[in-house]
Structure 1
Amino acid sequence: MTATGDVKNCRMAGPECNIDAAFSSYKDTRFFINLNGLRFICITMVLWHHAIPIDKGSFQLFGRGFMGVDFFFVLSGFLITTLLLREARERGRYSLRAFYIRRGLRILPVYFFVVTAVATYYIGIKGQVEYLQILPYYYIFFSNFLTEHIPTLTITWSLSIEQQYYLVWPALLLVLPLAARVPLLLLLIFINVVISAGWILIDPIAAGHLLFQLPNATYAPILLGSLLAILLDRKRSFVLFWWLLGSRWAALILAVALILALQLTPWNVLGWPNLLIHTTMTLMLAALVVRERTMLTPFLAARPVARVGEISYGIYLYHLIGLDIWMRILGPAGFDEGWMRLIGYSAISILLAEISFRTLEAWFRRYRPGGLPATTSIRMTEKQS
């Protein structure tokens, strides 16, 4: 295939494809077909984590479902940074105002709905007024630093991490010189890993109901996703990823490597195990975007799998509510065994998320700002991030 060949199909061909066509195809991609399926894997890990009791003495891999959130972070960092870089290339610079409006309309409606509904139940109906003291921290996305939580809202820590990232990174990227972006990200990742591993001791800062410390705010995976986006946006580094990961087998090999990393690393993942797992996640994501068709694509792009991935944000927010409903209604009847609980509460969570996606979230999606050129990745990010 030549540089003037079939650009659209180039990334389906593998390393033998002309690199100019491969890079052009990547930059023009508006929707990465593998990523909703990847989201399916992430949310399945999270659902498993909260359904099956963790036993350190059993097969360790099955106790690592919580790292599905870390994979979500890698994916989010990649997609958000890719959107910003592509909008800047099309328009000369990207609009912070439009970015925050898009993010707000995507994230806030269902998040505020869940927080308000849960708080109303526990504070207004059950009369547990002590939760009033910590409720404001959920609305300002500081729940990752809370020392106690309103029941079923513990998972909002990850949304706080993302919102803190959204607040800082797009503005920083706007003013950073091109040559400083990769070194800065590498430095921030290194600092995050070093502090969270305890290699450098920094006393936590207590402020009322908040405790500011790492690893309560682990930003390394979302920074790794951002780093990947920048590297793939540059032809020189894209070439390296293309030749290393452009094979149909690369994503599958890295998926196996990730499973091995989850199984074989020490139970306490802080430090180098965390970095190893997050780096493997980042490389697997790279293998799924530098090439459109991989050995995993038939599964990842299957309609039911992709649909669950598409509404995974809602599933994440509703799943502890779904678990609570399942345990209250069917738990006393004996339907609380691991697999039965996993299937039952997952079905409830998916149903709640589907209804929310088609009603509450759909209403707010109508107000997303448009006007971007057709060649940008806005559609990709609005559906996948």
Structure 2
Amino acid sequence: MGRSSGASAFYEGIDFLRAAAVFLVLWSHGGPLVPAADHSLLYSQFFRPGFWGVTLFFSISGFLIVGQLLDMASGRRDESLRVFIYRRCLRTMPTYWLTTLLVLVFGLAAWPGALQLLANLLFVQDFAAIGSVLPVAWSLVIEVWSYLLFAGLAWGSRALAYRASRNLDWFPLLRSWDSLLLVSLVCLPLVAALIRLDWAVQGASVQEIKQSFAPQIDALAYGGMLAWLKRYQSPLFERLTRLRWLIPVCLLCMALATATVPELFAAVQQPVEARRVFWLAVVFYPCAGFLASLLLLSFWNFRYVSLFAPLAALCRALSRCSYSVYLLHVSLAAWLTSWGSGLGPFAAYLIGSILLGALGWRVLERPFTRLRYLL
């Protein structure tokens, strides 16, 4: 297929936020290792680290993936859609498969039936209403199918542009290679909001709404909009990155928005309260995606040289192995819970998750990362 000539650019601000996102998720899932009386140290009404960590991951993925597709559309990235899909599959699937099997072999999760295991390995457990072997796999289902959705839209956009170029009566926007992809980035948040609203009205649980692909199909679109802004409105993009007040405003708005949806983090098996249905479905989630993408924008000019050198090295390492850390940390937390709770087990969980993730990156991720760069 030929080696890709469009290697992804390295953005230090995004690299730092990826490390921050996985640490927020680690922090959140350490709750069982901390006595209930001390849970206020991990969470508060205004601070829900796990939710914002995952939302940041989605925004980062949307920015990078849609950015690659836009670069392919403009000719800045010499890569076919087929190679794009192969590379994304190699980045995500083999590590996930091996991690799932290792967790089962070492007894960190109960062995599922053959049908459940197959659904998990194919990322279709959400559509088949089958439980996940890895507790964090729901977010991977959203990411993987979003990649395929955006790739399909890019392919359809190219076909549409070709037909429009042969028929001058078509709307001129459709003659652009990325036209359908651009329109989809704008429409997906509206579609997702309507789906969330319908699910909530029908009595779906909070967890079903927050962990299913259909109500979350806009989760990566906000990052994709930021990628479009960078490429097609670069002067505006650069002006926005120079706003020094953007970071504190984003963090403050995140805290205030979190306090408006307490049911998103408690009693998640219950339906959304009737008085909060519209707010949660149509207002909060779009705001959350927008704020996460705005935070990416605000960290655009971040450089590691501004940090204490050992801390910068730790952030770089954590970002590099973030995928393995994300896959393995919940199983480690469950194993350490049997040792009791307290500051010691919690610290062992944080350090152990990072070390285990670093080992996973070397053994599981790096071979496939090298292989995908050969495509």
Assess same fold via TM > 0.5.
yes
- Aligned equivalent of 1:298, options 297, 303, 307: 307
Select between 360-369 and 37-46 the one with higher mean Cα deviation.
360-369
**What's the CA shift for 1:142?**
1.6
**What's the CA shift for 1:353?**
1.0
1:202-281 map, 5 Å: 216-217=212-213, 218-235=216-233, 238-262=234-258, 264-268=259-263, 270-271=280-281, 272-281=283-292
Question: In the alignment, what sits opposite 2:188?
Answer: 188
User: Structure 2 length normalisation: TM-score?
Assistant: 0.74
- Aligned equivalent of 2:320, options 310, 317, 341: 310
* Preserved CA contact (<8 Å) 2:68 2:77: no
**What's the CA shift for 1:240?**
2.8
1:34-113 map, 5 Å: 34-52=13-31, 59-90=44-75, 94-113=79-98
**What's the CA shift for 1:150?**
5.5
The DSSP-based 3-state class of the residue aligned with 1:60 is: coil
- Aligned equivalent of 1:115, options 95, 100, 108: 100
Quickly say closer, same or farther: Cα 1:117–1:299, change in 2 above 3 A: same
The DSSP-based 3-state class of the residue aligned with 1:254 is: helix
Quickly say closer, same or farther: Cα 1:302–1:64, change in 2 above 3 A: closer
Q: What amino acid sits opposite 1:132 in the alignment?
A: A
Question: In the alignment, what sits opposite 1:16?
Answer: none
Q: What amino acid sits opposite 1:86 in the alignment?
A: D
**What's the CA shift for 1:42?**
0.9
* Preserved CA contact (<8 Å) 1:84 1:94: no
> Is 2:293 the counterpart of 1:282?
yes
Residue ranges of structure 2 left out of the alignment (5+ in a row): 1-5, 158-173, 265-279
* Preserved CA contact (<8 Å) 2:19 2:322: yes
The DSSP-based 3-state class of the residue aligned with 1:247 is: coil
Count of residues paired in the alignment = 324
**What's the CA shift for 1:365?**
2.3
1:146-169 per-residue CA deviation (whole Å, 9 max, x = no partner) reads: 655366x12111111111112221
* Preserved CA contact (<8 Å) 2:336 2:349: yes
Q: What is the distance in 1 between the residues matched to 2:241 and 2:360?
A: 37
**What's the CA shift for 1:314?**
0.7
Report sequence identity in percent.
27
**What's the CA shift for 1:89?**
2.8
1:299-378 map, 5 Å: 302-328=312-338, 330-331=339-340, 336-337=341-342, 339-370=343-374
Quickly say closer, same or farther: Cα 1:149–1:215, change in 2 above 3 A: closer
Q: What amino acid sits opposite 1:232 in the alignment?
A: K
Question: In the alignment, what sits opposite 1:19?
Answer: none
The DSSP-based 3-state class of the residue aligned with 1:35 is: helix
Quickly say closer, same or farther: Cα 1:343–1:161, change in 2 above 3 A: same
* Preserved CA contact (<8 Å) 2:154 2:180: no
Q: What amino acid sits opposite 1:241 in the alignment?
A: F
The DSSP-based 3-state class of the residue aligned with 2:95 is: helix
> Is 2:164 the counterpart of 1:160?
no
Quickly say closer, same or farther: Cα 1:361–1:194, change in 2 above 3 A: same
Q: What is the distance in 1 between the residues matched to 2:106 and 2:115?
A: 15
Give the root-mean-square deviation of aligned CA atoms.
Answer: 3.5
User: Structure 1 length normalisation: TM-score?
Assistant: 0.73
* Preserved CA contact (<8 Å) 1:144 1:161: no
Q: What is the distance in 1 between the residues matched to 2:12 and 2:77?
A: 27
Q: What is the distance in 1 between the residues matched to 2:332 and 2:210?
A: 30
Quickly say closer, same or farther: Cα 1:224–1:180, change in 2 above 3 A: same
Residue ranges of structure 1 left out of the alignment (5+ in a row): 1-26, 205-210, 372-385
The DSSP-based 3-state class of the residue aligned with 1:359 is: helix
**What's the CA shift for 1:174?**
3.1
**What's the CA shift for 1:312?**
0.8
Q: What is the distance in 2 between the residues matched to 1:184 and 1:100?
A: 19
The DSSP-based 3-state class of the residue aligned with 2:46 is: helix
Q: What amino acid sits opposite 1:169 in the alignment?
A: F
Q: What amino acid sits opposite 2:260 in the alignment?
A: T
**What's the CA shift for 1:84?**
2.2
